[in-house]
Amino acid sequence: MQLKTQVGIIGAGPAGLTLSLLLAKFGIESIIIENRSRAYVEARVRAGLLEQNTVDLFKDMGVGERMECEGAEHHGVYLNFDGVRHRVPFKELTGGRCITIYGQQEVVKDLIEARLAQGGEFFFEASAKSIEGIEGNSPEIHFEQNGEKHNILCDFVAGCDGYHGISRQTLPKDSYNEFHIEYPFSWLGILAHAAPSSDELIYSYHQRGFALSSLRSETVSRLYIQVPNDDKIENWTDEQIWDELEIRLSNGSDFKVNRGEIFEKSITPMRSFMIDNMQHGRLFLAGDAAHIVPPTGGKGLNLAVADIRFMAAAFKEFYTNGQEHLLESYSQDCLRRIWRAQDFSNFMTTLFHKQSEHGSFEYQLQKAKFDYIGISEAYKTTIAENYVGLKEI
Ligand code: RFL
Ligand code: PHB
């Protein structure tokens, strides 16, 4: 089958879906191809923290109705270190901004439903195999579905296909520099039918390692613990996970973790990854295809959506005014925010994870940073504005 559209989008994650909806709003045609089934992408458990900008954009796009009902606004966060707790309030320090807790799979469900309701074209279980002709004006995406080969002739290709996708591999190798940090630890994450143990998220340094208490709803908790990179989920019974969470989050206090049936558990490695050019010719990358941040700052999905805001504006400018300057500055426009988020995610990761001997020089530096949060409004403000996401950057 030979298809034709204005923007061919690879990937139905938050980036690709947000792009297709924004383009529709601007009267620009698109087709999405997605490797996995609709059911798979709607069930994939990942992020939960939405920045204010992301929430505002979803509301503007008219896809925020369920998020506003079921999502929970949080106006502060608890930071623990060796049994000491500081709260960082957002509203006071950021002029009224906050975060919203709403699962990524719920975002994906809302976006797919909204796009299908517009008659948007999707190919699920369709794998992009190659992207040809990006240096000309009509690039082509070759994909396979049910063993049959198809192609889409487009004006532009949006590579929203995540870290393992083909888009980044299609960029000429000499068109970008790559930056990596592989952290020597991973996150074991669970979802459980248990009421949240705290009204706000808790990030906790403990000498046995990091722990994070988050949530999805009044009856579902989302929790994480730092584990070594070679750890296996089979090494942990549910009881051991709960015990470890309780040790690390309570740190000797009488804080109790609410326990319940664990219905999802997995281990995710922690990495920072970056390329410093996200485009070549008619191919433009967004989201995890171009950058990965460790989840400690809650930034990955939000960065994907922020890239798309620039990409959609650039396509709009091209189609409505024939101007290419926003297309040309696309990478540079995105990179400022991405580097800021890389720095903040790395800061949160190194502050709260156990990386060196408890009591060592490195540990004392972590603790000195933490103690500074307790005494400085300026430092708290820096954390708050990065955490809720800078408005303009
Ligand atoms: P996605 O979501 O990976 O979507 C890419 C899509 O492309 C498809 N694909 C292909 N389709 C067709 N042909 C091919 N050849 C293809 N190759 C791939 C894939 O099937 C997939 O559906 O990328 P996108 O849209 O850039 O979105 C990025 C976010 O998913 C990611 O950054 C976040 O989940 C990161 N993240 C968090 N981000 C936050 O903003 N806040 C958080 O609280 C947060 N917590 C997290 C996280 C990620 C985590 N894990 C599991 C990595 C917590 C965790 C534990
Ligand atoms: C989550 O709720 O999944 C979550 C929250 C905050 C983070 C990372 C993940 O920093």
Angle at 30 between CA 28 and CA 36, to 5 degrees: 155
Backbone angles phi, psi at 75, to 5 degrees: -110, 10
Average pLDDT over residues 56-69: 97
pLDDT in tens, 299-325: 999 999 999 999 999 999 999 999 999
Taking a C-beta distance cutoff of 8 angstroms, is the pair 354, 226 a contact?
yes
Q: Are residues 36 and 138 in the same domain?
A: yes
> Cα-flanking dihedrals φ and ψ of residue 243, to 5°?
-60, -45
Buried b (16+ CB within 10 A) or exposed e, 69-89: eebbebbbbbbbbeeeebebe
Nearest Cα residue to atom 2 of ligand 2:
48
- Looking at the domain assignment, is residue 92 inside a domain? no
User: Do 258 and 286 belong together in one domain?
Assistant: no
CATH of the domain at 340: 3.50.50.60
Residue 348 CA: which ligand is closest? 2
325 in Cβ contact with 316 (< 8 Å): no
pLDDT at 19: 98
Q: pLDDT class for 289, splitting at 50, 70, 90?
A: very high
In terms of domains, do 213 and 175 share one?
A: no
- Quick one: pLDDT at residue 393? 80
Tens digit of each residue's pLDDT (9 = 90 or more) over 342-373:
999 999 999 999 999 999 999 999 999 999 99
Mean pLDDT over each residue of the chain, to the nearest integer: 97
Assigned domain for 88 exists = no
Annotated catalytic residue, options 196, 295, 319, 353: 295
Would you say residue 21 has pLDDT above 90? yes
* pLDDT of the residue at 241: 98
pLDDT at 16: 98
Res 392: pLDDT? 84
pLDDT digits (tens, 9 = 90+) for 157-194: 999 999 999 999 999 999 999 999 999 999 999 999 99
Identity of the residue numbered 172: P
Residue tagged active-site, from 206, 299, 316, 353:
299
Q: Is residue 109 among the annotated active site residues?
A: no
Provide the residue range defining the domain that includes 117.
2-74+99-179+272-346
Continuous segment of H or E residues that includes residue 340? helix 330-352
Pocket test for ligand 2, best of 49, 98, 217, 301 (most atoms within 8 A of CB): 49
Same domain, 28 and 123: yes
What pLDDT, on the 0 to 100 scale, is given for residue 137? Answer: 97
Please identify, by atom number, the ligand 2 atom nearest to the C-alpha of residue 222. 2
DSSP letters for 119-140: T-EEESSEEEEEEE-TTSSS-E
Taking only the tens place, the pLDDT of each residue in 80-110 is 999 999 999 999 999 999 999 999 999 999 9
pLDDT tens digits for 227-253?
A: 999 999 999 999 999 999 999 999 889
Segment 111-116 mean pLDDT: 98
- In this structure, the residues whose C-beta lies within 6 A of any atom of ligand 2 are 47-49, 201, 214, 222, 295-296, 298
Please confirm, yes or no, whether 316 is among the known catalytic residues. no
What would the two tokens of residue 234 be?
A: 């089979």
Q: Is residue 127 part of a domain?
A: yes
Residues 55, 148 within the same domain: yes
Residue-level pLDDT at 298: 96
Report the percentage of the chain scoring pLDDT > 70: 100
- Whether 85 is in a domain gets the answer no
Same structural domain, 326 and 215? no
Same domain flag for 366 and 333: no
> What is the number of structural domains in the chain?
2
Helices (H), 2-140: 14-25, 38-43, 52-60, 65-70, 91-94, 104-117
What is the rounded CA–CA span in Å between residue 303 and residue 311? 12
* Residue pair 5/29 in contact by the 8 Å Cβ criterion: yes
If pLDDT is split at 50, 70 and 90, which confidence band does 47 have?
confident
CA–CA distance, 134 with 137 (Å, rounded to integer): 7
Residue of 105, 217, 224, 303 with the most ligand 2 atoms within 8 Å of its CB, for mutation: 224
Helix (H) or strand (E) holding 239: helix 238-250
In this structure, the residue with its CA closest to atom 4 of ligand 2 is 48
- Tokens found for residue 53: 């900008």
Of 74, 86, 206, 316, catalytic:
74
Q: Which residue's entry shows tokens 């190919």?
A: 123
Q: Is residue 224 part of a domain?
A: yes
